[in-house]
Structure 1
């Protein structure tokens, strides 16, 4: 696996909904560090990504609008597709629901920051075209996630507890 790119290779726009308290959310440095693992794995030299932390209402609205699922979800990925002839380094947007992440971390007995790392890595892989609809796709995507999280000293998020 290639080395971790420099921090400047991750152009991050970290956003926090006005409805949230920023105190328990990952820092910009945390997110850049996690994304750098994905960028190194994919041999990406420079991409911009927006990570927006939202409440359950905003997550539910977006999930309903874009996925026809009327409930909040942990992370939504919105890949950016530039018009023909336009070259911008924008990879896309991740929308992370604080309430769902916190609930899942507690239910699954996972460290909160580790679960945020997993969901941001997972979402970024979706932005890069990975999916888990078919079993073989899921196994491939999960194996990448497990390896990247291991580089961050985070246990396999798919192991049975």
Structure 2
């Protein structure tokens, strides 16, 4: 598989005067290479596409909340939104869809759950990719299946089980 990945940063993440990326010293954003690795691990052997295309857009809380309200009727930002693309059979394109990941929510959840930010980013990319492939977690049986797949993928990437309760920070 040769994943074609388009990584985008939300427009409101830039300063008003420049087109510079957000200061990496303030935010631990994953690299394009990390995003690629995590997405490929999630898609490997789970898609028949030879060259799947995927967009991952990293956004602010404001953009996440707007999209979450528009598409899910929820009035708050969320960690990851998945927008699958269903091409008509006559269109020969291998576009999986788009993942919208809220930077601040991922960072906050990692802190609240006492996880490394990197591990939580990996989990959100894997989780979102599985949604694009049709997995869901609305019903208990679906949630158990999806979580088991996430655990397997994340373990293959050397990350611990994201559903284990972390030990409290004693420092």
* Same fold (TM > 0.5): yes
Give the CA deviation at 1:35: 1.1
Q: What's the secondary structure of 2:30's corresponding residue?
A: coil
User: Which structure dedicates a bigger proportion of its chain to helix?
Assistant: 1
Question: For each residue in 1:23-65, what CA deviation from the matched residue of structure 2 results, as whole angstroms up to 9, or x when unmatched?
Answer: 2211110011111111213154320000000000000000000
Mapped to 1, the partners of 2:141 and 2:46 lie a distance apart of 19
Q: Aligned to 2:30, which of 26, 41, 44?
A: 26
Residues 48, 89 of structure 1: 8 Å contact kept? yes
Residues 74, 119 of structure 1: 8 Å contact kept? yes
Using structure 2 for the length normalisation, give the TM-score. Answer: 0.86
Find out whether 1:37 has 2:37 as its counterpart: no
Mapped to 2, the partners of 1:19 and 1:110 lie a distance apart of 27
Q: Aligned to 1:106, which of 108, 111, 127?
A: 111
Find out whether 1:136 has 2:141 as its counterpart: yes
Query: What is residue 8 of structure 2 aligned with on the other side?
Result: 15
Find out whether 1:120 has 2:125 as its counterpart: yes
Query: What is residue 63 of structure 1 aligned with on the other side?
Result: 68
Give the CA deviation at 1:18: 3.0
Structure 2: runs of 5+ lacking an equivalent? 14-21, 167-171
Residues 47, 133 of structure 2: 8 Å contact kept? no
Using structure 1 for the length normalisation, give the TM-score. Answer: 0.91
Q: What's the secondary structure of 1:64's corresponding residue?
A: helix
Query: Of the two, which has the highest radius of gyration?
Result: 2
How large is the RMSD of aligned CA atoms in angstroms? 1.2
How many residues get paired? 154
Mapped to 2, the partners of 1:158 and 1:41 lie a distance apart of 23
Give the CA deviation at 1:84: 4.1
